[in-house]
Structure formats: C-alpha cells, structure tokens
Amino acid sequence: MKATLTTLWSRCWFRICCYGFATLLLLFLFRYPIMRSVGRYLADADTPEQVDVIAVLGGNSYVRGKEAVNVHHMFPSTPMVCTGGNIPVQLLAFDTVLTESQLTRHFVTKSGVPDSLITCLDQSFSTRDEALELKAYCESMGYRSLMVITSSYHLRRTGITFRKALEGSSIRLNLHGAPDDSFNPESWWTEEESLITVNNEIMKLIYYFFKY
C-alpha cells in the first residue's frame, strides 16, 4: 500500500489532483470569511471630512442622491456636483429625456439641497470619464479636496480610477459610500441581485486593470 502511494505521488498528475482537491476543500471550508472579505474589499470607504466640493456620480440617482442629501446635512455649505451623461432608458417610457446628472440634481433639490449649490457635468459616460471630468473641473475652480459619493460596491474601482486620474495634482480625495439594497458586503452571496452586482463589479475591476 505504501509503495503504491509512493508510486502515485511520484506522478505529476496525481500531485496536481491532490493539490487541487486540497485547495477546493480549503476554499469551501473558509468560503464565508472569503466572500465577506470580497464584499469589504469592494466597499472601501473613507471617514467623511470637510472638502471643497462634493461629487455625486451617475449610475443610480436615487441611491446616490439620497446619500448626497445626508452628506449635505453634515456639510450644508459645500458645493455639490452631479455627474453622468448617460440617459436612463426607463425614462423614455415617460417621454422624458434627462441625463443621470440632471436626474440626480432633480432628486437632491427636491430633497432640500439648494439649487444654487449644485452644478451638473454631463459629458462623462463611465467612471473613468467622471474622474477626468471632475479633475478638470476642480482644477478650473481651484478646489483642493473632493468627496466622491457612489454606491458602496463601486467604491474600490472608483478609488483606483480617481487616484490614477488625480496623479500629479494636489487634489485630496475622500470616498463616501451610499448604502444600496442590492449589495450587503457581509452577505452579498445570499441574494441573486447582490450576487450579480458583485460579479459585474469584479469583471469591471479586471477590465479597468487591463485597459487603464
């Protein structure tokens, strides 16, 4: 028996199978800590602090706009920028054409943020576009610090993208996450919508890594 095992272990395919099985077993045993770590990795937020301008990214005007209103209550005199040039297709069913930035502006003003504090930037169609557009805007306005509000699952990619875009500038970045019902970092794998959200975000992280 011992001789048989020794003979098998000397074969490359057998060692690969053993290592593979051991790896799969460890992944299964530690699946919950690993998946929680993935959720926490994506939701990489900073502590809110006073900045020169607050930016609300496009993509989910309700969720991100609602959190922007909460942040406005913390820093009521800070200017706010809404970004996003995409037009949510659902609005076309109402014969309405609004960009994401305009839709966010509509929501936050309706929720009490003074319109005089808000600027719309609608020439960006991706996270990278938003980073570049906001960098140019901050430099033109002389702003030295920027808070970016986005969905919590989007924070990691936002941080990586914005830090690359802001390289060489003196603009300080602060990331703030908007709680989203479609993503719970502690249990995202238990619901279909949350699972899809995380899968999409991981794919986009990989795409951004190779493209930018």
Q: What is the pLDDT of residues 144-182, one digit of tens each?
A: 999 999 999 999 999 999 999 999 999 999 999 999 888
> What single letter denotes the amino acid at residue 201?
E
The pLDDT of residue 62: 95
Helix (H) or strand (E) holding 210: helix 192-211
The pLDDT of residue 92: 84
d(CA 185, CA 67): 18
pTM for the full predicted model: 0.89
The pLDDT of residue 2: 53
The pLDDT of residue 5: 58
Could you tell me which residues are beta bridge partners of residue 174? 147
d(CA 135, CA 148): 12
66: number of Cβ within 10 Å: 16
Q: Which residues of the chain have pLDDT under 70?
A: 1-11, 14
